[in-house]
Amino acid sequence: MALRILGSLALLVASALCGCGNLETIGLEQAAMYADTRTAAGDGFTSKSPQYAYDGEPVTLDFQPDPGATDYVIFTWPNGTSDVLGRQHLTPTGYRGVGVFKAGRQQRSNVIRATAYMMRGERDWYYDKDQKLWVYHLVKSDLPDWKVGEAQMEIICYRVDIDLTVGGAGKRVKDAVLTISRDDGSNTIRRLQPAAGTPALTLIGPDAGGRYQVRYTPTWKEVNRVGKTDVELVVTYENGTQETITRQLDTP
């Protein structure tokens, strides 16, 4: 409580000295944002930006403004939506938001912004239950809340498409098995003819030279969170021979 009062008094004094009672920003304090994408277990946060996340992978972000001057925080997401967190959401590591991002064949940059505010009357945001989103609304009789801290983080979202060439003249594919191995010892196995409800490999071909393309796009749960991910494809041909291809996927 003492820290809250001191923070408020400092801002009020600054406001009086500069005559800026109607400004929305005053005395921005140091603030930082951290994300958890840089360790395999997801338990190591760093403020380094940009960071990388796989398509669909949840990313946890901690925003740390001045707790004494902050009444609420707004996370602004790349899709234009916002989340408002009050003092009851403050944790020992700050105010926490979780985002999930999407990528196509190309990487996509996502900038997440967090802003801390001190209220001057009523909070400038309310939750619209019908639209299920937070909406900015300043009452005419109220003053805009003070912005007291802000930070941002760039998350580059990516995915990896496995596309391997197999076969050749006189080699007709009978079956193929792809194994994706993770550092924790677990693996994912995908086949041309999987069990019901299991994703299948895609086989394209043969082309004029008898070659095939074997394709598969892993999910974020099927690859390592950092570093590289090992894959092995074993192809069985109708003539009884087999071909094995190994690759390492970049999964930063």
Model pLDDT for residues 148-170, shown as the tens digit of each residue:
999 999 999 999 999 999 999 88
Model pLDDT for residues 124-134, shown as the tens digit of each residue:
877 888 877 78
Model pLDDT for residues 80-125, shown as the tens digit of each residue:
899 999 999 999 999 999 999 999 889 999 999 999 999 998 888 7
Domain 2-158, second-level architecture? Sandwich (2.60)
The phi, psi pair for 37, rounded to 5°, reads -85, -5
Model pLDDT for residues 182-197, shown as the tens digit of each residue:
999 999 999 999 989 9
| pLDDT beyond 50 at 8 | no
Assigned CATH for 162-250: 2.60.40
| pLDDT beyond 80 at 226 | yes
| pLDDT grade for 12, boundaries at 50, 70 and 90 | very low
Where does CATH 2.60.40.10 sit in the chain? 2-158
pLDDT of residue 9: 44
| pLDDT grade for 41, boundaries at 50, 70 and 90 | low
pLDDT of residue 30: 82
